[in-house]
C-alpha cells in the first residue's frame, strides 16, 4: 500500500512539473496563436471586400447570423458591401470560405479560411494556375449571385475540379446557402427600419 502511495506521488510530481512547464509555454505562445488567427481573418476580409477600407470592416450579429459590413472610408459612412463565412463539409475536412458581396449581393471576392482536403485534389480549390495570380476556381464566383449558383455536374455555372467534385460542391453549396441567408437577413433588417 505504502508502495502505491509513493509511486503515485512520484507520478503526480512528474505530471505537476509537466503541467507547469506547459502552462509557461502556453502563456508565451497564446498571444502569437491569436495574432495568427486575426491575421488570417483580416487577410481574408480584404480579399473578399477589395473595395472596402480595411480598417472599416465591422462584424455584425443578426438573427443568429454573423457577418461583416464593409465601408469605403474609415469614418464608416458609405456602405459598399457585406462579408460572411460559408462553411461546408468537404471530403476530409470542413471547408470555410470568407465571401464578400456588394450591396446588390453580387460576389466581389472570396478566400478559403480553412480546409484540409486531399493534396492535389481537393486542395485545388486554392490552386493558382501557372502565369496567373489568383486561384481560378474561386475566381469563377466573382460577379455571380446565389441564384443558379451550383457546380456544372448539378447543372450550374461553376466548373468543378476534376476528381474533386465533393470539395467543389461543398464550397459552392455553402456559398449558395450562406449568401441566400445573408440576403434575407439583411433585407429583413432594412425593411424593419
Partner 1 sequence: MEIKALLIIAVNAIFIYNFVLSRFLGICPYIGVSKNIDSAIGMGFAVVFVMTLASMATWLIDFYLLRPTESNIFYILFNFKEPPDLMYLKTIAFILVIASLVQFVEMVIQKMSPGLYKSLGIYLPLITTNCAILGVTLINLDANYSFIASIVHGFTAGLGFTLALVLMAGIRENLDMAPVPKPLKGAPIAFIMASLMSIAFLGFSGLKIG
Partner 2 sequence: MSISKELFKGFYKENPVFRLALGLCPTLAVSNSVQNAVGMGAAVTFVLICSNVIVSMIRHGVPKKIRIPIYIVVIATFVTIVDLVMAGFAPALHKSLGIFVPLIVVNCIILGRAEAFAGKNNVGRSFIDGLGMGIGFTLALMALAIVRELLGDGKLWGIPVLSSGYEPVLIFILPPGAFLTLGLFLGFFNWLDIKMQK
**Binding positions for partner 1, rule: CB under 8 A:** 15, 18-19, 22-23, 25-26, 91-92, 166
**80 vs 85, beta carbon nearer partner 1:** 85
Beta bridge mates, 89 = 94
Shortest distance in whole angstroms from residue 57 CB to partner 2: 21
Choose from partner 1, partner 2, none: what does 166 bind? Cβ within 5-8 Å by kind.
partner 1
Contact partner at residue 128 from partner 1, partner 2, none, CB < 5 to 8 Å by partner kind: none
Could you tell me how far CA 174 lies from the centroid of its own chain? 11
Task: Give the Cα separation of 86 and 185 in Å (integer).
Answer: 15
Task: State the nearest-atom distance from the C-beta of 23 to partner 1, in Å.
Answer: 8
Distance CA 113, CA 45 (A): 10
Query: How many Å is the Cα radius of gyration of the chain?
Result: 22
In the complex with partner 1, the residue whose CB is nearer, 19 or 31, is 19
Sorted by sequence, the CB contacts under 8 Å of residue 21 that are 6+ apart come out as none
Amino acid at each position: 500500500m505504502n508502495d502505491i502511495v509513493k509511486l503515485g506521488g512520484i507520478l503526480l510530481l512528474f505530471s505537476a512539473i509537466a503541467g507547469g512547464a506547459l502552462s509557461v509555454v502556453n502563456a508565451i505562445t497564446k498571444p502569437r496563436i491569436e495574432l495568427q488567427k486575426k491575421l488570417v481573418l483580416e487577410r481574408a476580409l480584404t480579399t473578399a471586400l477589395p473595395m472596402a477600407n480595411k480598417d472599416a470592416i465591422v462584424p455584425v450579429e443578426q438573427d443568429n447570423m454573423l457577418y461583416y459590413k464593409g465601408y469605403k472610408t474609415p469614418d464608416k459612412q458609405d456602405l459598399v458591401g457585406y462579408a460572411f463565412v460559408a462553411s461546408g463539409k468537404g471530403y476530409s475536412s470542413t471547408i470555410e470560405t470568407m465571401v464578400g458581396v456588394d450591396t446588390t449581393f453580387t460576389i466581389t471576392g472570396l478566400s478559403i479560411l480553412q480546409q484540409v482536403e486531399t493534396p492535389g485534389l481537393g486542395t485545388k480549390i486554392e490552386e493558382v494556375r501557372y502565369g496567373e495570380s489568383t486561384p481560378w476556381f474561386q475566381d469563377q464566383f466573382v460577379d455571380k449571385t446565389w441564384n443558379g449558383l451550383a457546380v456544372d455536374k448539378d447543372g450550374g455555372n461553376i466548373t468543378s475540379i476534376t476528381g474533386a467534385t465533393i470539395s467543389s460542391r461543398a464550397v459552392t453549396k455553402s456559398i449558395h446557402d450562406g449568401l441566400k441567408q445573408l440576403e434575407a437577413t439583411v433585407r429583413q433588417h432594412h425593411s424593419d427600419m
